[in-house]
A = this chain, B = another copy of it.
């Protein structure tokens, strides 16, 4: 591990939402980071411990106060800036920061797509900074580590895409499953909706409620299909159905896939199983945050809660000839703040797990 002679100075823009809060938690505990600025229009001027009382008493949090700093102010003090802003707004912040020499890790959707057209299609507005898209790196460290290391602008993936792509990309890259007919069903905790005062997210409305939403075209499809297509080497369309369930954190994703080769006999099934095992092993044996479950174990969101891990298990179904892959992440950590810190670690040359284990 490279011992950072000097800590990297970072800022978080939009730090009062759930992702921003988790980022702050991780960055305050990070051994090589100094968190030097937090911004929030709504809470500007207030100390961190007043807005987010969980942090009170943590030594590093003593002096932190929310500001409504401009990019210009931020670039004066920070060398890496995290943006935890709504899409559309993030891009406005990113440009001056990049121009000023900062590295930017954006948690919004603004820089995740290669194509401004696809952005327009899925987000219903013209892309605010299309010229930056070519440069932005999709910040999935298990896949794009090399590019992230050299990036100025990292587009940290959404929570659903992380839970879908990590299980799926290796299989597609090795041609083990067909690039057609992919079906993903996801269950998300309510923090995925953000800290927004809206009726559908009230306790009483969410308790005892399980409901699909954004059917059949959730915005995250755009980035998932972009990455799947790149892995498969041809355009991939997938089905994705998210559900809201009564928990605070976590995403559980179940993928239904068609193996590229049929398995009709026990021998064929055993051979396919061996190939899948090898495929995941090759993909993730050195990935510190992917846990390939063994034996009877299946993913469970509570087992990844407040960690940066993705848990993954799979089953072949000899009755239907299908491969089922299941994953669990904490949507606010591996699906947001933790993943962004993982990119920071790559950018800064830290150990990939610094501050995350």
Interface positions of A (Cβ within 8 A of B): 18, 50, 53-54, 56-59, 181, 183, 185, 187, 189-191, 195-199, 201-213, 215-217, 237-239, 241, 243, 245-250, 252, 254, 256, 288-289, 291, 293, 295, 297-307, 309, 311, 315-317, 319-320, 322, 324, 326, 328, 357
Contact = CB atoms under 8 A, between A and B. Distances in A.
A181 B239 CA distance: 14
A325 B252 CA distance: 20
A292 to B, nearest CB: 10
A254 B243 contact: yes
B302 A205 contact: yes
B250 A210 contact: yes
Given A190-B203, A195-B199, 18 more contacts: A54-B303, A181-B181, A185-B185, A187-B245, A191-B204, A197-B202, A203-B205, A209-B247, A209-B300, A210-B250, A211-B300, A212-B298, A216-B317, A217-B317, A217-B319, A239-B317, A243-B254, A246-B246
Nearest to A211: B300
Contacts of A185: 185, 241, 254
B256 A256 contact: yes
A190 B289 CA distance: 30
A43 to B, nearest CB: 12
Given A203-B202, A208-B249, A215-B298, A309 B241 contact: no
B57 A289 contact: yes
Contacts of A299: 211-212
Q: Which 5 A-B pairs have the closest CB atoms?
A: A216-B317, A203-B206, A210-B252, A211-B300, A209-B302
B315 A216 contact: yes
Given A216-B315, A289-B57, A208 B250 contact: yes
Contacts of A189: 204, 208, 210
A209 B304 CA distance: 10
14 contacts: A56-B291, A58-B357, A59-B357, A183-B256, A185-B254, A201-B202, A207-B248, A210-B247, A210-B250, A215-B324, A237-B320, A238-B320, A239-B322, A306-B306
Contacts of A183: 183, 256
A82 B211 CA distance: 32
A210 B300 contact: yes
A22 to B, nearest CB: 12
A297 B247 contact: no
Contact of A203 (B203, B293, B295, B303): B203
Given A216-B315, A322-B239, A309 B57 contact: yes
B252 A212 contact: yes
Given A54-B303, A203-B206, A216-B324, A298 B190 contact: no
